[in-house]
Amino acid sequence: MNDLLKYAIIGVSVIISVIVLSFAITYYGRSRDVISVTGLGEEYFTSDQIVWTGRIRVDAYNKQEGYKQIAANQKKVAQYLAENGISSQEVTYSFVEVDKQFESVYNSNGNYAGSRFAYYTLSQSFTISSNDVDKVEVISREISSLISQGIDIESWTPDYYYSHLDDLKLSLIEKASKDARARAENIVNNAGAKLGKASTASLGVFQITSATGNDEYSYGGTFNTSSKEKKARITVRMSYKLK
């Protein structure tokens, strides 16, 4: 009788183990019934902000005289900008920088004997930040006309920005998510299955390049400022359960 009970207990234990193992295998199989796809969101846009920097430069043997020339030239630059529709609130002037310049000295035998002070170089940068992109572009190209007035001026290529980046990012994420869903549905429908709910999602890096696409994408994200016409893109990695 005791042996019979022992064998009965063993048999029940084996049956229970098989049932538990069966459920575990079924759950594991179902948990792996997922599909992962990558969706892409892209959008072309035009910059609505411009930042342009120039610099006034003066060479003078006397530092005080150099400051006077910088002040006079700055006044001419400010007048030029105002005449072309740039308000004083849009212009920022930096402090005047002063550098000593030296020249090499050679003895009568032509051997180098050291250096001596030659003159001062004074420079002052100015930066224009404006929403009127087209106007500032024209000014940045034509400001070299001040050279004819005896002003030594340098101009750098403008930088272009966009004031609605947060809205743009949200729009791209929505587009990328819809694209991922469409890709997943296309794959699943062709396989004769049905797509369920999303289980996981992860964003790629935000990339802003020139509209022509000449920039290289970066692992950490690209942020082009040299082009007025730009392209933004982002990827979304989505996983969906299968029904």
Q: CA-to-CA distance for 202 and 197, rounded, in angstroms?
A: 15
Is pLDDT at 2 greater than 80 in this prediction? Answer: no
Q: Which residues pair with 195 in a beta bridge?
A: 242
Mean pLDDT of the chain: 85
Q: Is 57 or 20 the better-scoring residue by pLDDT? A: 57
pLDDT of residue 21: 37
pLDDT of residue 194: 85
Q: CA-to-CA distance for 210 and 232, rounded, in angstroms?
A: 9
Structure tokens at 175: 């587009």
DSSP 10: H
pLDDT of residue 40: 95
Query: What number is the average pLDDT over the span 141-167?
Result: 91
Is pLDDT at 147 greater than 60 in this prediction? Answer: yes
H helices of the chain, in order, are: 2-31, 63-83, 133-142, 165-190
What are the tens digits of pLDDT across the range 37-82? 999 999 999 999 999 999 999 999 999 999 999 999 999 999 999 9
pLDDT of residue 39: 95
Percent of the chain past pLDDT 90, that is, above it, reads 63
What are the tens digits of pLDDT across the range 84-136? 999 999 999 999 999 999 999 888 888 888 899 999 999 999 999 999 999 99
Structure tokens at 59: 């060479």
pLDDT of residue 182: 93
Q: CA-to-CA distance for 86 and 240, rounded, in angstroms?
A: 54
Query: What number is the average pLDDT over the span 218-239?
Result: 90
Query: What number is the average pLDDT over the span 18-36?
Result: 51
**Banded model confidence at residue 32, pLDDT cuts 50, 70, 90:** low
- Asked if 70 and 58 touch (Cβ cutoff 8 Å), the reply is yes
